[in-house]
């Protein structure tokens, strides 16, 4: 309100007015005020550096059963039964798992998988949720009825159960895939799709509600009168105006997907070994609560830290992007 009444107060020294009008710059200024979110952003960059670059430094060593000196993911998958369940030591800072693999190396490559799943599942979620929400809200009528009844039908079954049933039904159907010289278990793709297709309902409802209120506005009627196509109205006029909730829920979608992956993999229906994920590193842990706490502590901690950082970033984005947010700029 102050900005329209006394525009000069919003202009800081040394800044052109046009720079301040830029909504992204404005959002960044609001985001920076959220201390925890900024700290979380820094934390997230640290975690990303660890899982991107960590492999270069921490994942190399002699794999005794093969007698070869291995680097990167091959080392993370090297099982040396003679060294199983060793507590943290200089050689293995996070200890070794039940078949003698180095847990530190596995948290790096497991992290790559868990984050990949988180990000791509969130992308699937956003694409499906936004499309269904926008189409239902824009066209209304029977299309809206059918789409919303389907959305409600999905909400009848607890999502973890749906996730487990889908993973079991599709598991083992996708062959291992090679990307950039690395072989991934096909279960990674299955988990991405399954999480994406079970989590879009919430986003679809928000987008639908926003589209419903936006399409009453004059600029949409004007576009219609000009003969602009439906697709163009949806993608160029309606969706950009509902970007804030989409960005916030896709961020939170990443953390929710990382947690979902950990539950499904923990129950043995997710990512299949030897491909590591933070979730499947936990799955044998229950038997070793007492004898080998390092087995579950480190992957669990990485999940907690990553999800925590993403949630704080999402909270910061909500404050930064919500135009109704009462916090001063």
Please report, as ranges, the residues that interact with other proteins according to CB under 8 A: 36, 149-150, 152-158, 160-161, 164-166, 168-170, 173, 255, 259, 262-263, 266-269, 282, 285-286, 289-290, 293, 296-297, 300-301, 303-304, 307-308, 311-312, 315
Q: Contact 204/151 with Cβ under 8 angstroms? A: yes
Radius of gyration of the CA atoms of the chain, in A: 24
Task: Return the number of other C-beta atoms located less than 10 Å from residue 90's C-beta.
Answer: 5
Least distance from other proteins to the Cβ atom of residue 42, Å: 16
Least distance from other proteins to the Cβ atom of residue 15, Å: 30
Least distance from other proteins to the Cβ atom of residue 187, Å: 15
Least distance from other proteins to the Cβ atom of residue 108, Å: 18
DSSP 8-state class, residue 277: -
Residues with Cβ within 8 Å of residue 264, at least 6 apart in sequence: 163, 164, 167, 191, 194, 195, 270, 279
**CA 158 to chain CA mean position, Å:** 20
Residues with Cβ within 8 Å of residue 214, at least 6 apart in sequence: 220, 238, 241, 242
CB nearer to other proteins: give 87 or 268. 268
CB nearer to other proteins: give 63 or 292. 292
CB nearer to other proteins: give 81 or 155. 155
CB nearer to other proteins: give 62 or 286. 286
CB nearer to other proteins: give 78 or 282. 282
Closest CA to 276 of 107, 117, 74, 120: 107
Least distance from other proteins to the Cβ atom of residue 183, Å: 24
């Amino acid at each position: 309100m102050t900005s329209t009444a006394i525009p000069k107060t919003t202009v800081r020294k040394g800044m052109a007015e046009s720079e301040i009008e830029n909504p992204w710059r404005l959002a960044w200024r609001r985001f920076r005020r959220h201390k925890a979110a900024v700290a979380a952003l820094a934390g997230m960059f640290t975690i990303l550096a660890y899982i991107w670059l960590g492999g270069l430094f921490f994942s190399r060593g002699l794999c005794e059963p093969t007698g070869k000196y291995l680097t990167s993911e091959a080392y993370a998958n090297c099982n040396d039964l003679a060294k199983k369940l060793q507590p943290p030591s200089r050689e293995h800072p996070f200890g070794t798992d039940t078949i003698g693999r180095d847990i530190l190396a596995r948290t790096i490559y497991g992290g790559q998988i868990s984050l990949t799943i988180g990000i791509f599942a969130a992308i699937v979620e956003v694409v499906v949720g936004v499309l269904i929400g926008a189409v239902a809200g824009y066209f209304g009528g029977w299309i809206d009825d059918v789409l919303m009844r389907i959305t409600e039908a999905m909400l009848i079954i607890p999502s973890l159960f749906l996730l487990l049933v889908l993973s079991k039904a599709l598991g083992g159907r996708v062959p291992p895939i090679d990307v950039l010289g690395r072989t991934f278990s096909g279960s990674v793709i299955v988990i991405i799709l399954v999480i994406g297709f079970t989590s879009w309902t919430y986003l679809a409802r928000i987008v639908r509600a926003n589209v419903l209120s936006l399409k009453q506005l004059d600029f949409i009627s004007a576009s219609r009168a000009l003969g602009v196509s439906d697709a163009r109205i949806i993608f160029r006029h309606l969706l950009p105006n509902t970007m804030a909730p989409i960005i916030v829920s896709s961020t939170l979608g990443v953390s929710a997907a990382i947690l979902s992956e950990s539950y499904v993999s923990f129950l043995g229906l997710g990512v299949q070994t030897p491909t590591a994920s933070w979730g499947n590193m936990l799955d044998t842990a229950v038997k070793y609560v007492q004898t080998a706490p390092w087995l579950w502590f480190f992957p669990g901690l990485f999940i907690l830290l990553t999800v925590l950082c993403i949630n704080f970033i999402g909270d910061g984005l909500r404050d930064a992007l919500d135009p109704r947010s009462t916090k001063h700029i």
